Homo-oligomer: A and B are copies of this chain.
Amino acid sequence: MLLESLRKEVLHANQEIARRGLAPHTFGNASGIDRNGRKPLVVIKPSGVDYASMTPADLVVADLEGKIVEGSLRPSSDLDTHTLLYREFPEIGGIVHTHSEFATSWAQAARPIPCLGTTHADYFHGPVPVTEPLTAEEVAEAYVRNTGAVIVKRFRREGLDPIGVPGVLVAGHAPFAWGRTPAEAVEHADVLEYIARLAWRSMLLDASESGIPAYVSEHHYQRKHGPRATYGQLKAANQKA
């Protein structure tokens, strides 16, 4: 069986989606990528298998064009979004898609989540962006792949760094989050839901959409990502307590 260790990481990330309540029913999926082999391989959740009974062997292995390399089950129907993001964002190693309640509510309102506090600034360098809606042509041509394409378009247009901004809201749909590993991706999906909750409640108290001063959010960002940060310090800063 290919990629045993990555399969376990991806299985664990999928189980975390359920355990943390990020997706009711089976509205969610996680994947990971191994970029070290002859060609990069993606491990992704199979479609419609219950989290409780899922084993590493149930996961599906595909290449970056979405061709199944190993696995008898059908992959998640969102596979083409995942592969496009892996192709375009070479820094990332895991992706998590949820329909978590507050992040999805912002996505449905097609509004970016402003950076209103340090909980946000510790994880996202600036607002959580929201995509343009897909056009009728994009839907007709390749709905799932173009969901990835509108994400990348937003990042390119605003010059965003997928490591500094580890997630996005797809307008009228729901969030995607990612990270260097599947575990980091699911952590970011969970934090994204939490900052969506905080920001939603703050906006109803008439918080200013301009958010905290840039020198505060930059301070937090540099603690994690600046030239003086090492990965170990990053991890510790990340934990924040």
Contact = CB atoms under 8 A, between A and B. Distances in A.
A120 to B, nearest CB: 8
A172 interface: yes
A109 B28 contact: no
Interface string A16-29: 00000001111111
A117 B136 contact: no
Q: How many copies does the complex hold?
A: 4
A109 B202 contact: yes
6 contacts: A25-B187, A77-B236, A107-B117, A108-B199, A172-B212, A172-B216
A199 B107 CA distance: 11
A212 B145 CA distance: 19
Contacts of A205: 105-106, 109, 111, 200, 203
A134 to B, nearest CB: 7
A143 interface: yes
A111 to B, nearest CB: 6
A45 B241 contact: yes
A104 interface: yes
Given A199-B108, A202-B109, A26 B119 contact: no
Given A104-B198, A205-B109, A27 B133 contact: no
Contact of A117 (B28, B48, B104, B117): B104
A236 B26 contact: no
